[in-house]
Structure 1
């Protein structure tokens, strides 16, 4: 799948059609001390985003916050990752715009 306009392969600086890291050409990002993802209540200076999301292979989006929490509990049981009845915290708890839950390689977002 080809990346969208303005995206390229970081190594070659050319548009690519293979699976690789995506590099966004925005010189203003380099000068920022912190990249704040306001709607998710996350930021690069307050959260270790690679540690939090580096193993994510599946992103499931849809429904209400309660439905996405229920979905992550279901996935936990189906994949035998953890106890489905365990408490899964809302990663975006500081905002009312989104809810985000994670178990293993699965991220569930409303």
Structure 2
């Protein structure tokens, strides 16, 4: 066996710089969200929108810097699994909210 390959050869492993950059970004995003809420700088509706954006950016930072998820061909199945999980979560959460809203509306009419 002169030509053997590791099963994980295509997977990218992070460097110390990548982990430190991800950690710093995660801390800054967390501090920004905490400061936004504790400082009361925005009205409630605006604060919720900004917090949602900060949460989404935090998710992307974790996926890229710590889980090493990227668009390379070696990561194709991991990206597909992530997309399926996101769609399933959206359907589950959206369906639950829809059912609970309908139950609430039907109970109020009596």
Shorter chain as denominator, the TM-score bin is under 0.3
Return the TM-score normalized by structure 2. 0.24
Q: Which has the higher contact order (CA 8 A, sep 6+)?
A: 2
Higher strand proportion: 1
Return the TM-score normalized by structure 1. 0.24
Higher helix proportion: 2
